[in-house]
Amino acid sequence: MKTKILLPILLIIGLIFSVIGFVKYKTLIPAPDVTFTTITGKKIELLNLIGNPVIVTFWATDCASCIKEVPHLIELYKQFHSQGLEIIAVAMYYDPPNHVVEMTKAKQIPYHVALDLRAKHASAFGQVELTPTTFLISATGDIILQKTGEFNFANIKQQLENLLQG
């Protein structure tokens, strides 16, 4: 009888320690080697931005949560761009380019806006299908945050402050 109780307890304890170990020591994933083309025709090689933190956010003009995040992204850009932050908003392949250009102008987006007409960038970042999906990339070029759905503004702001201080 004691063996029947002891075995599940040991398995649960082992599982808990495995999860703690994974969370504590998970490996960082390097950002993919991609080149974005902005709506103004500028080419931006992501690997050339190593040395600065970068936010890459996948969005669509018909995504209410994406549009809700735009003011937060603008605020982050205005606060941290002078310290090196770059933001690249990548419009999903299904988003008509003219809608992207119109929305960028209407919202007065100051950061880079790129098109992903063949979904190559979404694929390079791990098959991004849902919007918004946001990646925070450290100055070393590692993805340190991936968030599908609206990001927590206070959390990402704190992470940026930490990245830019150290």
Tens of pLDDT, residues 10-55: 567 665 655 554 444 457 899 999 999 999 999 999 999 999 999 9
Mean pLDDT rounded to a whole number for the chain: 90
Cα dist. 148→19, 128, 136, 152 in Å?
21, 9, 12, 11
117 has pLDDT over 50: yes
Q: Average pLDDT in the 107-124 region?
A: 97
pLDDT at 7: 63
Determine the Cα–Cα distance for residues 48 and 57; give it in Å rounded to an integer: 18
The percent of residues above 90 in pLDDT, for the chain, comes to 82
Q: Average pLDDT in the 92-120 region?
A: 97
Q: What is the pTM of this model?
A: 0.83
130 has pLDDT over 60: yes
105 has pLDDT over 80: yes
Burial of 118-133, coded b for 16+ CB within 10 Å and e otherwise, reads: eeebbeebeebeebbb
Determine the Cα–Cα distance for residues 99 and 106; give it in Å rounded to an integer: 10
pLDDT at 97: 97
